[in-house]
Amino acid sequence: MSDSYRFPDDFLWGSATSAYQIEGSPLADGAGPSIWQRFSHTPGNTLLDQTGDIACDHYQRYESDVALMAELGMNAYRFSISWSRIFPEGFGRVNSKGVDFYSRLVDALLAKGIRPNVTLYHWDLPEALDNRGGWLNRDISDWFADYSTTMFDALGDRVNMWATLNEPWVVTDGGYLFGALAPGHSNLFEAPIATHNLMRSHGASVERFRASAAAAKGKIGIAVNLEPKYPASDSAEDIEATRRADAYMNRQYLDPVFFGTYPDEMREIFGEAWPEWNEADMALIKQPVDFLGINYYTRNVAKHDPERKPVCARGVAQPQHTITQTEWEVYPAALTRILLWVKERYGDVPLYITENGAAFYDPPTPIEGRVEDPLRVEYYRQHLRAAYDAMSQGVDLRGYFAWSFMDNYEWALGYSKRFGIVHVDYATQQRTVKSSGRYYSEVIRSQGTVLSE
Does residue 5 lie in a domain region? no
Does residue 172 lie in a domain region? yes
| CATH number for the domain harbouring residue 106 | 3.20.20.80
Catalytic residue among 127, 190, 329, 355: 355
Tens digits of residue pLDDT in 134-143: 999 999 999 9
Check whether 208 has a pLDDT greater than 60: yes
| pLDDT-based confidence at residue 4 (cuts at 50, 70, 90) | confident
Does residue 237 lie in a domain region? yes
Instruction: Tell the burial category of 187 from Cβ atoms under 10 Å away from its Cβ (0-12, 13-18, 19+).
Output: middle
Q: Is the Cβ–Cβ distance between 69 and 16 less than 8 Å?
A: no
Check whether 2 has a pLDDT greater than 50: no
Does residue 185 lie in a domain region? yes
User: What length is written for the chain?
Assistant: 453
Check whether 72 has a pLDDT greater than 50: yes
**Is 265 assigned a catalytic role?**
no
Alpha carbons 79 and 354: distance in angstroms, whole number: 10
Tens digits of residue pLDDT in 222-257: 999 999 999 999 999 999 999 999 999 999 999 999
Catalytic residue among 23, 127, 167, 265: 167
- Dihedral of alpha carbons 132, 134, 140, 144, sign: positive
Distances (CA, A) of 217 to 156, 159, 162, 209: 8, 8, 11, 11
Provide the number of structural domains found in the chain.
Answer: 1
Q: How many beta carbons lie within 10 A of that of residue 78, not counting itself?
A: 30
Cross-strand pairs, 230: 301
**Count of helices and strands (H, E) across the chain:** 16, 13
Tens digits of residue pLDDT in 398-422: 999 999 999 999 999 999 999 999 9
Does residue 392 lie in a domain region? yes
Q: Domain of 317? A: 15-66+74-434
Mean pLDDT to the nearest integer, 154-181: 98
Torsion of CA 167, 173, 174, 175, to 10 degrees: 90
Does residue 92 lie in a domain region? yes
Whether the model clears a pTM of 0.95, i.e. scores above it, the answer is yes
Alpha carbons 32 and 18: distance in angstroms, whole number: 17
Check whether 321 has a pLDDT greater than 80: yes
DSSP 407: -
Does residue 212 lie in a domain region? yes
Instruction: Tell the burial category of 247 from Cβ atoms under 10 Å away from its Cβ (0-12, 13-18, 19+).
Output: buried
Alpha carbons 38 and 51: distance in angstroms, whole number: 9
Tell me the percentage of the chain whose pLDDT exceeds 90. 98
Residue 284: φ, ψ to 5°: -65, -45
Q: How many beta carbons lie within 10 A of that of residue 47, not counting itself?
A: 13
Does residue 184 lie in a domain region? yes
**Is 355 assigned a catalytic role?**
yes
Looking at 219-348, list the stretches that DSSP marks H as alpha helix, in order from N- to C-terminal side.
236-246, 252-259, 265-270, 279-285, 333-346
Residues 6+ apart with CB under 8 A from 197: 135, 136, 137, 138, 140, 141
Q: Is the Cβ–Cβ distance between 146 and 91 less than 8 Å?
A: yes
Nearest of 201, 218, 238, 242 to residue 157 by alpha carbon: 218
Check whether 158 has a pLDDT greater than 70: yes
- Dihedral of alpha carbons 259, 261, 267, 270, sign: positive
Q: Is the Cβ–Cβ distance between 297 and 249 less than 8 Å?
A: no
